[in-house]
Amino acid sequence: MGKRDYSLLGADAKRAVETGLAAAEWYHTDIPRAQMKALMQRADQPAIRDTILLYGCMIAFAGIGIALWPSWWSAPFWLAYGVLYGSASDSRWHECGHGTAFKTRTYNDWVYQIASFMIVRNPHAWRWSHARHHTDTIIVGRDPEIALMRPPDLARMIANFLGLIDAWNGWGRMLYNAAGRIHPEEADYIPETEYPKVIRVARIWVAIYAATIALAIAIGSILPLMVIGLPRLYGAWHHVMTGVLQHGGLADNVVDHRLNSRTVYMNPISRFIYWNMNYHVEHHMFPMVPYHQLPALHDRIKHDLPAPNRSIAEAFAEMWPALKRQLRYEDYFLRRDLPPTAKPYREDFHDGALGAAE
C-alpha cells in the first residue's frame, strides 16, 4: 500500500467503499445466544456507584484545591481532579454514548452531556463519528477516530498527553460550530437533521466558557479555569496513555478486531478511570456489552483472541518500537498471534494488509 490518505473525502475513502472494505461484515467469536443475552443485560447499579464515586472525588479534590490555592500544596489535588476531568470523562463519554453504561436511558444521556463538555467533543457530532469508528474501525479514509495514523506523528501524540492538539482542535471546532457551520468532514457522517443540535450545544458551551473566563478576569485569578477548561489539558495524560494502546501499531484495513485492537490488563485505578475499555478487542467485537460485563466477556472468549498485554508498560514496550518502525516503513504493523484454540484469521480477506507484518 502506498501513502495513506486519511481524509474522509479522499482517495482511500473512495477505494474503501469501492472494494467493500467500508461497512463490511466483521469477524465475531461464536457465543450462544443465551450467554450473549446475559452479557448484554443492562443495570443501573454499577454505573450509579461509579458515577457517585467519580463526581464525589471531583468535588472533594477541587474543593481542597480551591481551599489551598494558590499554595503548591494544592497541586496534587489539582492533578487528581484533572485526571478525573480530563481523562475519566473520555470513558464516560464513550460508554454513555453507546448507551450501555446505565440501564436508564436518561442517566446515560445526562452523563454523556457532562462528559462531552469536559472532554470537548460535541455530543451530537461525536456520536456519529463514533458510530463510524465502529462500522469501519481503522479503515483508512473511513474511520474519523484514528489516533495514530501512519506514519505516526509521535510529536502530536506526546503533545496530546497535555491535550495540546486535540483539546485545542475541540475548542476550535466548538467555535466553528457555534458560528453556525458544519465542517465538510463532519457532513460526511452526520445527518443533516442533526446539524441544529450540533450548533446549539456548541453555543451553550461557548456561553459556559465565556462566563468562566469572565469570572477569572473579574477576580483576577485563573482559579475558575483550573476548575473548568484547563483540566482538559493538565489531566489529559491518562486517557491518551490508554487510548493510544487501543489500536496503536496494529493492522489497518482489516475486518477482524483481533488484528487491529488491543486488550491490556490494567491496574484497578486505571480501569476505573478507563471504565474497562482496556478490554478493547472485546468491546469492538460486541459493543452492546456494558463496561461492567467486559471482564466476563473476556473470560468467555479469550480462547479465541490474541494473548492480552499484561500491563500498560508491557503494551507500550510492544507498541513503541512498532511506531518507530512505521516512521520509516508505514506498511509495518504488529501481527498478533492467535492461540491454538482460536479460529484462524481469514488470510484471504486481508491479503493486502497482512503481507506487511512480521
Partner 1 sequence: MTDWIDACGTDEIDEEDVIRFDHDGRTFAIYHGPGGDFFCTDGLCTHEQVHLSEGLVMDYEIECPKHNATFDYRSGAALRAPACVNLTTYPVKIEDGRVLIAI
Give the footprint of partner 1 on this chain (CB under 8 A): 23, 33, 36-37, 40-42, 98-100, 103, 105, 127-128, 131, 134-135, 191, 193-194, 286-288
Residue 103: strand, helix, or coil: coil
Distance, CA of 296 to CA of 313 (rounded, Å) = 24
Query: Measured from the CB atom, is 101 or 241 closer to partner 1?
Result: 101
Query: Measured from the CB atom, is 145 or 331 closer to partner 1?
Result: 145
307 secondary structure, DSSP code: P
For residue 286, the minimal CB distance to partner 1 (Å) is 7
Distance, CA of 202 to CA of 108 (rounded, Å) = 20
For residue 133, the minimal CB distance to partner 1 (Å) is 10
Quick check: 167 and 82 in contact, CB under 8 A? no
Quick check: 339 and 301 in contact, CB under 8 A? no
Nearest 5°: the CA angle 220, 223, 229 is: 115
For residue 40, the minimal CB distance to partner 1 (Å) is 5
For residue 212, the minimal CB distance to partner 1 (Å) is 29
92 secondary structure, DSSP code: H
For residue 340, the minimal CB distance to partner 1 (Å) is 27
Query: Measured from the CB atom, is 190 or 245 closer to partner 1?
Result: 190
For residue 2, the minimal CB distance to partner 1 (Å) is 29
Quote the cell numbers at residue 129: 463519528
Query: Measured from the CB atom, is 188 or 194 closer to partner 1?
Result: 194
For residue 157, the minimal CB distance to partner 1 (Å) is 28
Query: Measured from the CB atom, is 106 or 341 closer to partner 1?
Result: 106
228 CB neighbour count, 10 Å cutoff: 19
Distance, CA of 349 to CA of 220 (rounded, Å) = 61
Query: Measured from the CB atom, is 43 or 159 closer to partner 1?
Result: 43
Residue 28 CB partners (closer than 8 Å, separation 6+): 285, 286
Query: Measured from the CB atom, is 99 or 151 closer to partner 1?
Result: 99
- Report which of 111, 110, 65 is spatially closest to residue 88, judged by C-alpha positions: 111
For residue 188, the minimal CB distance to partner 1 (Å) is 14
Task: Render 262-311 in DSSP notation, one character per residue.
Answer: -BB---HHHHHHHTTTTBHHHHHH-TTS-GGGHHHHHHHHGGGSPPPBSS
Query: Measured from the CB atom, is 124 or 336 closer to partner 1?
Result: 124
Distance, CA of 154 to CA of 265 (rounded, Å) = 24
Distance spanning both ends of the chain, measured CA to CA: 16
